[in-house]
Chains A and B, each alone.
Chain A
């Protein structure tokens, strides 16, 4: 199977955030895939990836939870590729893959828990876990994407914010930093590449992988708000009108703390926050409702209308 064909139909692991606060990301990912002729088959009876909470209490249990998703995709659905749009899910699938290939104690726990749960244990290498960015970049590519653009994003200045989990820690992403067109962990560019293909003007944004304080939102909101405010200010200082996101946690954090920064710190920013899937969907000619613009907290409707995208 060719590299491109491999991504035409993938097992889809939306994760819990995409059923809640990140619903617009779920909606726009599905709509974008359909418009591009890509197929998604949702993982049957998927479970939580273990997120940050389980990881910090019992890392092996978290690995098991992520491995179960991969096991169902491979052993029960016959898929070779699992696509997760959420950085947290993607990160945890990658980490589970790494641990399952290196750590015998983890393998033992996964085997034991899989037996108790009554499903086949995941074996390292059974599936390839990818992010939604990989899916579009490798399954479609910039050249094919350009041919499908109906409403160019030309003139829209975008700061691409990848957050921390898409590239860290580097050792769980062995396919990255391989030179050529591979993704970079220090300066990721897949989102930049895809949005540029849709006509957007990417600004030079030095905080594209900087911490947004996402994990501290409840325990130390003040720090999270200050970190997000600085990211938003940096995006505006770089000339961006839009921050493109590819993670529901980052996205929600930026939206919520944009409001909070104005209320509690008096820092007002007007940069719009949109998922990259929403921007690409609009560029393909999809209606704003189809990509969930109305579900965003950051209201970009007037901006998009002004730019002829809504």
Chain B
């Protein structure tokens, strides 16, 4: 599995435009990011898909018993949305722009997950999650 640092480096290159990155690769980098999270929690990353995307299945798996992880739910969905835009309308005049936005969205997912990998307890202070210490 590609180390987290390599994924970050690859995404930085995609964001600053120093290396061309396909939508397929960006989606793959998002999946690999989530795989790191799932493995760190002691699970085998799922091979299943949700709504046709493994990324969404991995997000669901990563959120199990970890409500604060849902803070990246929309980021995952935006990544999928941009993938669809780029791959289903490759000739569209905005494809280059969409691909750039997709790189920034993938980078956000990486930053969110890698930040939490570094300091797992940060999850306890997620702004919008239900408190992890709640009894109900």
22 contacting pairs across A/B (C-beta < 8 A): A52-B127, A56-B131, A59-B134, A164-B127, A165-B128, A186-B77, A206-B105, A210-B72, A211-B71, A211-B112, A214-B127, A215-B122, A220-B118, A220-B119, A222-B115, A223-B118, A230-B15, A230-B107, A230-B111, A234-B108, A237-B100, A238-B101
Per the bound structure, the CA–CA distance linking A160 and B59 in Å amounts to 25
Cross-chain contact B125 with A215 (CB below 8 angstroms): yes
A296 within 8 A of B: no
Contact residues in A for B74 (Cβ distance below 8 Å): 186, 209-210
Interface of A is mostly: helix
CA distance A267 to B119 in the complex (A): 23
B125 touches A216 (CB 8 A): yes
Contact B125 A52, beta carbon cutoff 8 Å: yes
Query: On chain B, which size bracket covers the interface?
Result: 35 or more
- Residue of B97, B104, B126 near A207 (CB, 8 A) is B104
Chain A interface size range: 35 or more
B67 at the binding interface (Cβ < 8 Å) = yes
> Residue A233 contacts which of B15, B112, B127 (CB distance < 8 angstroms)?
B15
**Residues of chain B contacted by A88 (CB below 8 angstroms):** 127
Main secondary structure of the interface of B (DSSP, over half): helix
Within 8 A of A (CB), among B82-136: 82, 97, 100-101, 104-105, 107-108, 111-112, 114-115, 118-119, 122, 124-136
* Interface membership of B21, Cβ < 8 A: no
Instruction: State the Cβ distance, B116 to closest chain A Cβ, in Å.
Output: 8
B131 close to A215 (CB less than 8 A): no
- Judge whether B115 and A237 touch: CB under 8 Å: no
Provide the residues of chain A in CB contact with B61, threshold 8 Å.
none
C-alpha spacing A163/B133, complex, angstroms:
23
- Beyond A56-B132, A91-B127, A227-B108, 20 additional pairs, beta carbon < 8 A: A59-B133, A91-B128, A106-B136, A164-B126, A168-B129, A206-B78, A206-B82, A207-B75, A210-B72, A211-B71, A211-B126, A213-B115, A214-B127, A220-B118, A223-B118, A226-B115, A231-B108, A233-B104, A237-B101, A238-B101
In the assembled complex, the Cα of A104 lies from the Cα of B85 at a distance in Å of: 47
B22 at the interface (CB under 8 A from A): no
